[in-house]
Structure 1
Amino acid sequence: MTTVTFRRSTDTVSSVAAARTPVQSRNAVRPSPAPGDALRSLGPNWFAVVMGTGIVANSAATLPLQFPGLRAAATVVWALAALLLVVLSVAWVAHWRRYPEIARSHGAHPVMMQFYGAPPMALLTVGAGTLVLGSDVIGMPAAVAIDWVLWSVGTALGLLAACAIPFRMMTRHNFDADAAFGGWLMPVVPPMVSAATGALLIPHIPAGQPRMTMLFLCLAMFGLSLIAAIATITVIWSRLLHHGLPAAGMVATVWLVLGPLGQSVTAAGQLANVAPTALPDRESAGLDVFALIFGVPTWGFALLWLSLAIAVTYHTRKTMPFNMTWWGFTFPLGTCVTGSTVLYTHTGANIFAITAVALFTLLLTAWALVALHTLRGIYHGTLFHPAP
């Protein structure tokens, strides 16, 4: 067994961001590489683009404030996310064929391997959007069929990542106390996304044991992801308190903590919504109560973390180089939008509706900013070269 020691994470993560994560140089513009060479720097972290784009569409579809044109715009964004998923999937397969050693090294790298949670979440996000928005375009039967495929593959890959990546961390690497960062959550969050998006499929399953089985599978994935996330968030909180902020290039990963928080609130609420179709009245009523007892306190902590993340980002704004970790501003924030929306549908309390709309406005701003920087980096070729 090969053991790799990961020490002094503030410096190491910075160097990793330069060596493994495509980073845009602030002072230099490099020529665009040939299409084949562009694949060299492709990693699983690129699927965060699909996640961030897809969550904009999904959160818009259920936003408490609906106005003419919003659903049509959300459908266009969903189509864009679906197209990005196809393009990146093809490119990733080509990357594995052309650069197998680099591709395999991602799975062994203490930072890059965390982002193997991104591909399954990209599949799940686009699948949910297909059911919620794509059904208007391709019809409900086709949308359900596509979502089943994407949900099944995404769930299988997500469960594999949730088990394999922590196992590799335990057996292949030694981490110092200051090594923890928000990316550690990426492998354990996909089952929570499966639980939230799987709830949308439950009404399309035959009643009785099949529907009940699906509900309990989603609840089990909710639990395994939640407990793993709580343990990891505790370590990240401790790391920030005892060792300070991460390197400037990794500050955006602080926002990743919002992902399991917002998604767990969303999952609890959506599973409670469909529970009456799968469980007896008493059990389904219990899930409805749990959605509030769990959801509201978790929502409160998510807002606290959001405030801290905004403060940390503002504190380091002048030294933050653009890189692909900036997509961490989008998907986690989007889960807080959907979580607030779910709480509004369960309570009718305007505070949740107002928060959902405010967070969606922030999400749109973040997505536009990060997308613009990404397009600029692709156009100039800087995202395909490690920074000097």
Structure 2
Amino acid sequence: MFGPNWFASVMGTGIVATAAATLPVDLPGRHAFATVMWLLAALLLIAVLTATARRGVSHLDDPVLMQFWGAPPMALMTVGAGTLLLGPGEFAVAADLVLWSAGTLLGLIVAVAVPYRMMTRPDLAATEDAAFGGWLMPVVSPMVSAATGALLVPHVGAGRDLLLACYAFAGISLFAAVIVITQIWARLVRHQIGAARMVPTLWIVLGPLGQSVTAFHLLGRAADGVLPDPYATGAQMLALLFGLPTLGFAFFWAALATAITLRTVRTGLPFSLTWWSFTFPVGTVVTATGGMATRTGSPLLTTLAVALFAVLVTAWTVVATRTLRSNLWRPARLEARPAARSGDRLIEAK
């Protein structure tokens, strides 16, 4: 039984390709490695779309798993961005435009539909201790639209309108993410960490943080020659003055998440698809750090971007290996298994 949670594997693989392609230094074999990861992400996308069409389940009545309908649109746009960065010529632009358009439309629908469903369905009403990183999945998708759409601005005729739309998409995600992150913080302080399998979802908080820095960096670059001054200059200033403080908070949250994760590992951290939360969110911090390094020329940020990229590749290798071991090598686990509570099914490797 497949659900939208499986698209997290596409996101996690695709961000490795994007991070490699946009590193501020040209490491040996970087482009070839990025291309291989992009092709793997594209194949995964096709496989997961096919499996979902054949035996997917919506999970729209599950207050936990329905949050992960934010993953499919982000998977589409992540593969699309990789195609534009690494694919061949005109095909790359056309393919990315299709994937970005489909992902953006679906992402906007999900960003409204999932919170609306939570607000209007008494049986899906959240308790005070229910907030978790997955609540960010529906609302972070428009930020991915902003970041990946910025890459398309030079390639479309209506570049100015696309740029303005991307800034609006960034606003949708940014303000919604601030609200949700505040709720997650309050839940952690008042009700502590909770179930071990929920711990990896704390890393999802890095997603809107890193992606917003990446988005405003790329939008600032795209604004040059598209917006008149002083707005083009202001976009460049905003990229730096927003990016560095937000990146600082991302590192602060990463330190908290690392401490909580290590504490949980000592007592037992069972494998499930939640482990893909260690990949895409970290990848957005890599692209954010790389973007700030490129913008400022800072050797410290450049070194940090490379170090974080090494962490990302290591995390992807571990999670991909565990996913294969749990599902491909033991296909019986792919069958649906009943669970007493929705939290027990949280992006579980079924």
Interval containing the TM-score (normalised by the shorter chain): over 0.9
Distance in 2, matches of 1:75 and 1:69, equals 10
Q: Which position in structure 1 is the counterpart of 2:33?
A: 73
Mapped to 1, the partners of 2:278 and 2:313 lie a distance apart of: 10
Shift of residue 68, structure 1, vs aligned partner: 2.4
Q: Is the 8 A contact 1:203 1:277 kept in 2?
A: no
CA distance in 1, matches of 2:203, 2:254: 7
Match of 1:287 in 2: 235
Matches of 2:203 and 2:300, distance apart in 1 = 23
Q: Distance in 1 between matches of 2:162 and 2:316?
A: 33
> Which residue of 203, 211, 215 maps to 1:255?
203
Matches of 1:222 and 1:246, distance apart in 2: 31
**Counterparts of 1:183 and 1:53 in 2: how far apart (Å)?**
19
User: Which runs of 5 or more residues in structure 1 are unaligned?
Assistant: 1-39, 97-102
The code of the aligned residue for 1:168 comes to R
The CA deviation at 1:91 is 1.1
Q: Using the alignment, how far apart are the partners of 2:129 and 2:222 within structure 1?
A: 42
Give the aligned partner of residue 116 of structure 1. 69
Give 1:231's match in structure 2, choosing from 179, 187, 192.
Answer: 179
Q: Does residue 88 of the first structure (1) align with residue 48 of the second (2)?
A: yes
SS at match of 2:308: helix
Which digits, 9 at most, give the CA deviation of each residue in 1:141-193, with x for residues without a partner? 00000000000000000001100000011111221111100000000000000
Counterpart of 1:182 in structure 2 is 133
The total of aligned residue pairs comes to 334
Instruction: Provide the residue aligned with 1:200 in structure 2.
Output: 151
> With CA pairs under 8 Å and 6+ residues apart, which has the higher RCO, 1 or 2?
1
1:307-359 Cα shifts (integer Å, max 9, x gaps): 11111110001411100010000000000000001111111112211211111
CA distance in 1, matches of 2:192, 2:27: 43
Q: Is the 8 A contact 1:165 1:187 kept in 2?
A: yes
Partner of 2:227, secondary structure, is: coil
Q: 2:220 aligns with which of 247, 272, 276?
A: 272
Counterpart CA distance in 1 for 2:227 and 2:318 is 44
Q: Which residue is 2:8 aligned to?
A: 48
Whether 1:316 and 2:264 are equivalent positions in the alignment is yes
Matched AA of 2:295: H
Q: Are 1:181 and 1:246, in contact at CA under 8 Å, matched by a contact in 2?
A: no
Partner of 2:277: 328
Residue 380 of structure 1 aligns with which residue? 330
SS in 2 for 1:76: helix
Secondary structure in structure 1 of the residue aligned to 2:224: helix
Q: Which whole-Å CA distance do the structure 2 matches of 1:296 and 1:247 have between them?
A: 33
Query: What's the CA shift for 1:250?
Result: 1.2
Aligned partner of 1:371 among 320, 327, 334: 320
The match for 1:161 is 110
- TM-score, normalised on structure 2? 0.93
Identical aligned residues as a percent: 55
Residue in structure 2 matched with residue 359 of structure 1 by the alignment: 308
Corresponding position: 1:151 with 2:151: no
Deviation at 1:387, TM superposition (A): 7.9
Letter in 1 for 2:334: F
- How far off its partner does 1:277 sit? 2.7
Q: Distance in 2 between matches of 1:165 and 1:334?
A: 25
Indicate the residue corresponding to 1:31 in structure 2.
none
Partner of 2:343: none
Q: RMSD of the TM alignment (CA)?
A: 1.1
Partners of 2:93 and 2:26 in 1: CA distance: 24
Distance 1:217 1:296 in 2: 23
Q: Which moved more, 1:272-281 or 1:285-294?
A: 272-281
Q: 1:356 to 1:382 in 2, by over 3 A?
A: farther
Distance 2:294 2:332 in 1: 44
What CA distance in whole angstroms lies between the structure 1 residues aligned with 2:108 and 2:225?
26
User: Are residues 382 and 251 of structure 1, via their aligned partners in 2, closer, same or farther at CA, if it must alter by over 3 Å?
Assistant: farther
Q: Counterpart of 2:25 in 1: which secondary structure?
A: coil
Q: Which amino acid aligns with 1:162?
A: A
Task: Provide the rounded CA distance (Å) in 1 between the counterparts of 2:185 and 2:255.
Answer: 14
Q: Distance in 2 between matches of 1:341 and 1:67?
A: 13
Instruction: Answer whether contact 2:24 2:291 (CA < 8 A) is retained.
Output: no
Change in Cα spacing, 1:231 to 1:111, as seen in structure 2 (3 Å) is same
- Find the aligned partners of 2:338 and 2:40 in 1 and give their Cα distance: 29
Secondary structure at 1:108 match in 2: coil
Structure label with greater radius of gyration: 1
For residue 119 of structure 1, what is the amino acid of its counterpart?
P
**Shift of residue 382, structure 1, vs aligned partner:** 5.5
Q: What residue in structure 2 maps to residue 61 of structure 1? A: 21
